[in-house]
Structures are given as C-alpha cells and as structure tokens.
Chain A
Amino acid sequence: DTAVSQTPKYLVTQMGNDKSIKCEQNLGHDTMYWYKQDSKKFLKIMFSYNNKELIINETVPNRFSPKSPDKAHLNLHINSLELGDSAVYFCASSLLRIQQETQYFGPGTRLLVL
C-alpha cells in the first residue's frame, strides 16, 4: 500500500492555466506538507497543515492555495501558472508536529509550464 500518494505524476500545461495536484496519505497522520524542488534541486517547504488547519505558509505567492478537505488529504491548487512554477512538488506527512518526527514523502508531481 502506498503511504503517501500524489496525482498526477506528470503535469504539462500552458502558462496562465489553473491546475491542481492531489495528495492523500493512508498513515493516519495529523500533519501534511507541500515542498517544492526547483530545477537546481533545492527542496523547500511551502505549506504545512495540521488537522486541516494551515500552520506554515512560507511566503508562497497567493496563486498557490492549499486545501485540506480532511486530515488524509492536502491538495494544491495553482492559479495563473507561470514558467517559474515548473518544478517537482512533493507532498509529505507526519504523525506529530514535533522535531523528532519522521516525515514521509510522496513520489512527487513533475509540473512543466510551457
């Protein structure tokens, strides 16, 4: 069973479009995250949610809007896509919001904006 899954795996779209990436975890975790890995391979946190409540928002443009319908899902909606949004987006989850806790990552969604 896949612990953290993301759909789609690949996403190719035109500039200006709106798209969504979905994430689901079946680990029973309370906290979920979105990370972005750019073309230089730097991984950076974007958002974290705990029990459907936004906890971290790392100065991400407001074109990016995370939505958590329930604890097991954290979706990422992106409006008016720009070329610079091309990256790999990883969803992750952890049981607790503490520094000792392991984060489990999904396989990533590779977004290419043309």
Chain B
Amino acid sequence: DAKTTQPNSMESNEEEPVHLPCNHSTISGTDYIHWYRQLPSQGPEYVIHGLTSNVNNRMASLAIAEDRKSSTLILHRATLRDAAVYYCILREGGSEKLVFGKGTKLTVNP
C-alpha cells in the first residue's frame, strides 16, 4: 500500500486559510491523491482528489507538487466546522480500497 506522511496535528484560526501538507515520496505515476476528512463522531467524508494538476472544488483546493512527491490541501477560510482529522490517501491503480493513515487533526480556534 502506498504511503503518505502528514503532521499529527495543526491549528488554525477561524476565517484564516489552512494549508495541510502531505508527503508521498514513493508515489507512482498512476496513483491518485485523495483527501478525506472525519469530523468528530462521524464517518469519513470525501474532500477532493487529483492526479497531476491542481484541483479546486467548493470545499477546498488541492495543490500538487510538480514531481508529485507532495501535495497540500488548502482550506481557504477555515470555519469551526472544519475541525476534523484530515487524511491524505494514495489510491493505487487497479485498487478501489482506501488505505487510511493517521491523518492530521486540525483544530480551528474561534
């Protein structure tokens, strides 16, 4: 299973941008980068995914390094509701399963 490295925890202030980093130095050319988050006492929730190009959706942006060995999830204006554990996941070609690591616990301060 492809491996990712994320900081254990990060803090942010409400209404400020948050940049959540993820290292995946062993990524292969066909691996997709997915981000999910898990709010307290809830199931994981899809955030965004990408392959090579940066991606934007209503929840967040995903910035992928040119060599694809790292990526950053960007929350443009953090809200209290964004406090969650964020998981960066590599999905290998031909594999439908999600392999979760420890994730980054994001705390948002009012």
Residues of A within 8 A of B (CB): 4, 31, 33, 35, 41-45, 48, 55-56, 58, 90, 92, 94, 96-108
Interface on B for A, CB 8 Å cutoff? 30-32, 38, 41-46, 49, 85, 87, 91-100, 102
| B97 engages A33 (CB within 8 Å) | yes
Q: Which of A42, A45, A100, A105 sits near B97, CB closer than 8 Å? A: A45
Question: Which residues on A sit within 8 Å (CB–CB) of B49?
Answer: 100, 102
A43 to B96, Cβ gap below 8 A?
Answer: no
**Shortest Cβ distance from A103 into chain B, in angstroms?**
6
Q: Is the CB of B97 within 8 A of A56?
A: yes
A92 / chain B contacts, CB cutoff of 8 Å: 43-44
- Is the beta-carbon distance between A107 and B91 smaller than 8 angstroms? no
Distance in angstroms from A54 CB to nearest chain B CB is 13
- How many Å lie between the Cα of A17 and that of B91 in the bound state? 36
Q: Check if B43 sits within 8 Å of A94, measured CB to CB.
A: no
Are A41 and B85 in contact, CB atoms less than 8 angstroms apart?
yes
For B43, the chain A residues whose CB sits under 8 A away are: 4, 90, 92, 105-108
* Interface contact B100-A43, CB-CB below 8 Å: yes
Most buried by B among A98, A103, A106: A103
Docked-complex contact A107 and B42, CB < 8 angstroms:
yes
A49 to chain B, nearest CB (A): 11
Besides A41-B85, A41-B102, A103-B44, 10 new A-B residue pairs in contact (Cβ under 8 A), listed by A number: A43-B100, A44-B100, A45-B98, A45-B99, A92-B44, A94-B96, A99-B30, A103-B46, A104-B46, A107-B42
